[in-house]
Amino acid sequence: MKILVLEGDGIGPDIVAAAVEVVKAADRRFNLGLELEVADSGLSSLEKNGSTLPEETWGKILAADGVILGPCHTAIYPAPEEGGINPSARLRTGLDLYANIRPSKIRPGVAAHVKEMDLIIARENTEGFYADRNMHQGSGEFMPTEDMVLAIRKITRRGSEQIARQACELATKRRGLLSIVHKANVMKVSDGFFVDICKEVADDYKLEVDEYLVDAMAALLVRKPDYFDVIVTTNMFGDIISDLAAELSGGLGLGPSVNAGDKYAMAQAAHGSAPDIAGQNIANPTAMILSAGMLLDTLGSRLSRPELLEAAKQIDEAIDAQLNEKNGRTPDLGGHIGTDAFGAGVAEKVRGGT
């Protein structure tokens, strides 16, 4: 099984190295048969190849079973025609990674802003308000006059059905509660369409289904986060409320995600590249390690390989054990160990099963 590693920018190489060490530990313990290869990407690739995502790398992506993508500093990328391709957007649309799955839960030893939380946000990943991924050609934003900008939002039946089914499948394995988040009181046609489709899909499952306006959901995540189980929503709403949920549970440094389609899957931490602390060995690799674990879990479910599922479970448990150690956390969580030491600690726990 081939896993392609794209290190990204900023703290990307630091935290990806920690995640790769943990994945290799799981590979050895559970005999997963993984082949990990690092390919050119990001700003280093731009300097070397003239592109942040060269065609050679794209070919390797298509040949891989899964991808680990480090955070990218896309804000300073040149225009796409000058080689500044957003790897995340290209992979999400080019591989039809329609589901962005973002869990948030309280972790032992980590100070959180709420007492209880264990939920998953299933975010539609390829359309919505995202101007760089909702048109066949060109951008979803355009400027008819110098005093006016218009933006197009795309909601399709296929996109809505896909993410709704992913969310329902997740809910059946958990507490059986599906919460649909939208703004159909204002965007009556587009969000109304999304809500109706989600309900149609949910009718195929034995679930409790409720719905909330996105602004109400933002408040309720603060007030009663323990109530929610699986939340399904559109692209931009999911991006925003998943960051809120991550911060409430202890910070974006703990926020993992997996981007999944029917054929491909990609691990990606929910946070950015933090260039101000790059190379200082102080970045928190928790989200990146957990994302890699989610990738193994996704592949395990898809390929019916229980050893991959067990490896993912062990990585999650090893993270909890590492975070719960008095001297086992990075500086952002009040600890004193470096990125590499954190990764080494988690890897050792995966190897030893503690």
Neighbours of 296 (CB within 10 A): 31
- Are 225 and 247 a contacting pair, CB within 8 Å? no
Annotated catalytic residue 262: no
| Among 229, 239, 297, 316, the one annotated catalytic | 239
Distance separating alpha carbons of residues 125 and 89, to the nearest angstrom? 9
- Sign of the C-alpha dihedral computed for residues 72, 75, 80 and 86 taken in this order: positive
Q: How far is CA 214 from CA 120, 146, 238, 314, in A?
A: 16, 32, 9, 34
| Among 27, 183, 297, 349, the one annotated catalytic | 183
| Among 130, 229, 264, 316, the one annotated catalytic | 130
Annotated catalytic residue 316: no
- Sign of the C-alpha dihedral computed for residues 314, 316, 317 and 322 taken in this order: positive
Cα angle: 307, vertex 321, 328; to 5 degrees: 130
Closest of 131, 119, 91, 130 to residue 259, by C-alpha: 91
Distance separating alpha carbons of residues 332 and 271, to the nearest angstrom? 14
Annotated catalytic residue 130: yes
Distance separating alpha carbons of residues 140 and 190, to the nearest angstrom? 15
| Among 204, 215, 226, 262, the one annotated catalytic | 215
Neighbours of 126 (CB within 10 A): 26
Please give the positions annotated as active site: 130, 183, 215, 239, 243
